[in-house]
Structure 1
Amino acid sequence: MTAWQQRFDARIMRSIGMPLAKLERGDGVRVWDDAGNEYLDFLAGIAVNALGHAHPVFVDAVSSQAAALAHVSNYFTTEPALELAERLTRLAGAGEHGRAWFGNSGAEANEAAFKLARLNNSGGARTRVLALVDAFHGRTMGSLALTGKPHMRDPFEPMPGGVEHIPATVEALEASLDDAVAALIVEPIQGEAGVVELPGGFLEAARELTRRHGALLIIDEIQTGAGRTGAWFGFQHAGITPDAITVAKGIGGGFPIGALVTFGETSSLFTKGQHGSTFGGNPLATAVANAVLGEIERAGLVDNAARRGDELRRRILGIGSSLVHGVRGKGLLIGVGLSEPVAGRVVAEAMRRGLIVNAANDSTIRLAPPLIIGDAEVDEFTTRFAGVLDTVASL
């Protein structure tokens, strides 16, 4: 072990594995480790660093707001919090009744959504919450209950009750939804499952069926939001209006923040004292999120994500490697399906060649680069990734 690995092994909780490197600085789409090695970052902190590293807009927002007011608790409000609530409801198309609640992470946003679902229970008859098999909604107890991965839940049973996991099919929706369902929560693209898109027509059917039965349709946009898929939010590709969405990751561009955004009558479900967060909506986090989302909008990075994503998918298929079984996803959330379970080898070889990618599972490589990538980064990625695939295929 290196010295830093020994320190990590001695003092960091073993709920996470040994890191791939000790990173020291970043600039744009690149990071450098403690040995001076440079990497092209096509993971962006798992779809977080929307503007890349050390973007001037991000740096200025952090420094200027920290010098003015960082934290006030939720006994007070500030201009950045009001502005961000207005911005998120506008971008989501939440309409005149849209509201936002702020927390500090995606898991917290989904905890708030779980509680929102429980409030949709007039008369006490709505005891069921539906989520999808292979879904990932977080690691806190409530969000873990929503997560459709038994290997994650089993060590912590019993989970909070009432959650059922159904296959991601229209047939399963039709068979499962009834008047006892309080809410259905889904990801537009299941990132942790290997960047798996929902079947065509699924969200449209979900909207019609939940409305028919009085259930809430809650969309988990934590990985797909903030322009990542080539729309501001993934649900917008389907042309529907949900009852609520959860967001985090890219909206803060690297600063911790999460939010629940509600639509229509759903905005009246929470009442005073039913939910809160000491740090949630603090002026520092909300000022940074405003700056990040403002720059995404100003620079046309949602369109850039759509265009560069299409280009990357074509380039990957054009490599012609026997290891590439297919390419999934939308915008700059991409899953490269592998014909063999060698994703770990691909990640290791990519690191050796100065490229950061992620193994979503044994047979999927996940790409989620910063939304700022251009021609040069696409060309460089293609060359390096082709070399990675050639090397792994020859082993």
Structure 2
Amino acid sequence: VALAARGPWVVTLKGAVLYDAGGYGMLGFGHTPAAVLDAMARPQVMANVMTPSLAQRRFDRALRAEIGHSRGSCPFVRFMCLNSGSEAVGLAARIVDTNAKLHTDPGARHAGATIKRLVVKGSFHGRTDRPGLYSDSSRKTYTKYLASYRDEDSVIAIAPYDVAALQRAFDEATRNHWFIEAVFLEPVMGEGDPGRALPAEFYAAARVLTRTHGSLLLVDSIQAGLRAHGVLSVVDYPGFEQLDPPDLETYSKALNAAQYPLSVLAVNEHAAQVYRKGTYGNTMTTNPRALDVACATLALFTPQVRDNIRLRGAQAIAKLEALQSELGGLITKVQGTGLLFSCELASQFKCYGAGSTEEWLRHRGVNVIHGGENSLRFTPHFAMDEDELDLLVGLIARALKEGPRQVQAEAA
């Protein structure tokens, strides 16, 4: 149980001190960042979606300055603010649903078509309702426990970033009179295969196919935003600057500084025109306190911070790959993009739960959160220095040499 924290350091109720490399990607500027706490402390009028505020104007300007800065302008025309990241994806799915009705109503281009959805295997887009439906990484659990998934076959899950498989899925949709309502993609996987990046070639193919078919394309940057390449939006990723932007993009975790619930759905002109008033509502959205937190967070994002994210991310991969070579098979895969990286452990290690490598690390001073099939996932703060990285890699080495293995965990 955490008692106090500052930056990457946490003090527990029993006096232990941990270096926090977890946080699901929210701890961009660490725990209790002063500028964010100052923004939260300002007096505010009632925080309600019906209450206009100057914070909304400031936030709009801050987002437009950040998104598209590498390509000359922001490609999105509207920003819709909600609370959790899953809510932003839920609103996006409501716009997708509206578009699907327009395409499949009597007399429409895809009149009477069966509605399908397309994702890559291992994808994650949230746990509530429609976002959960698009989350392939959670599918097995939902199918096991939820009656609504018993006959659910609307989701097409293809091998990650296989352009030929993507083309085949759309060809099959044409043959079978299906309408693929949307393709949902993560720019960098956060849950199913942490740190795995979306190739520009696959994205470009998805953009062409969705536009041709009449589908919408969503990029879910909730976990990767700011931390993957030191930029918020996929439109500013290396290799993506000249590509057509998605119809919808979501942001949340690093933007809200792990201090105040905020998520954002950015929409282009087409998606904005599809949206219909009355199809979604949320009382506490777009409230000024949340927007002030986001503005304070974006103001901290200096060129030096961007450079550090890229540098430390590259160093993390290099150091973990060196450890992989040293340990001779105990680490089976290393991957990452910026400060969202992971190392997959060999099958003799239990990654999470009682008697796991994750637990061993926490008891010895590093907070880490698992991901994927059997990976340790790291999302450290943006100001991480090389000494901190060496501390992290050194403890991973100790965990794999000295920590528990499956046989020990099962015996316990």
Q: Give TM-score, length-normalised by structure 1.
A: 0.87
* Aligned-residue offset at 1:167: 2.8
Query: For residues 308 and 70 of structure 1, what CA distance do their matches in structure 2 show?
Result: 41
Question: Shift in Å at residue 109 of structure 1?
Answer: 0.7
Match of 2:305 in 1: 301
In the TM superposition, what are the counterparts of 1:141-220 in structure 2 within 5 Å?
141-148=129-136, 149-154=138-143, 155-159=145-149, 162-168=154-160, 169-177=162-170, 180-195=179-194, 196-198=196-198, 201-220=201-220
Deviation of 1:277 after TM superposition, in Å, equals 1.2
One-letter amino acid matched to 1:175:
R
Contact 1:31 1:40 in 2 (8 A): yes
Q: Alpha carbon RMSD of aligned pairs, Å?
A: 2.2
How far did residue 299 of structure 1 move? 5.6
The equivalent of 1:11 in structure 2 is none
Any gaps of 5 or more consecutive residues in structure 2? 105-109
In the other structure, the counterpart of 1:272 is 277
SS in 2 for 1:237: coil
Identify which of 328, 346, 362 aligns with 1:339: 346
Amino acid at match of 2:6: D
Q: Is the 8 A contact 2:82 2:88 kept in 1?
A: yes
Q: Secondary structure at the match of 2:148?
A: coil
Q: Does 1:46 align with 2:54?
A: no
1:57 corresponds in structure 2 to 35
Match of 1:325, SS?
strand
Query: What's the offset of the Cα at 1:174?
Result: 0.3
- The residue number in structure 1 matching 2:400 is 389
Q: 3-state DSSP class of the match of 2:390?
A: helix
CA shift in 2, pair 1:362/1:211, >3 Å? closer
Match of 1:19 in 2: none
Higher deviation after alignment, 217-226 or 70-79: 70-79
Q: Say if 1:342 and 1:362, in contact at 8 Å, map to a contact too.
A: no
Q: CA 1:271–1:87 in structure 2 vs 1: closer, same or farther (change >3 Å)?
A: farther
Give, in whole Å, the separation in 2 of the partners of 1:325 and 1:199.
22
State the identity %: 24
- Residue pair 1:226, 1:232 contacting (<8 A) in 2 also: yes
Query: Is there any run of 5+ residues in structure 1 with no aligned partner, and where?
Result: 1-21
- Letter paired with 2:350: V
**TM-fit CA distance, 1:243:** 1.1
Select between 174-183 and 131-140 the one with higher mean Cα deviation: 174-183
Distance 2:305 2:84 in 1: 23
| Partners of 1:355 and 1:262 in 2: CA distance | 38
Deviating above 3 A after TM superposition, structure 1's stretches of 4 or more consecutive aligned residues are: 94-97, 159-164, 196-200, 227-231
Does the residue aligned with 2:238 lie in a helix, a strand or coil? helix
Matched, 1:321 2:332: no
Shift of 1:53: 0.8
The 2-side partners of 1:292 and 1:257 are apart by: 12
| 2:107 corresponds to | none
Is the counterpart of residue 353 in structure 1 residue 364 in structure 2? Answer: yes
Match of 1:130 among 110, 115, 118: 118
Distance 1:333 1:310 in 2: 11
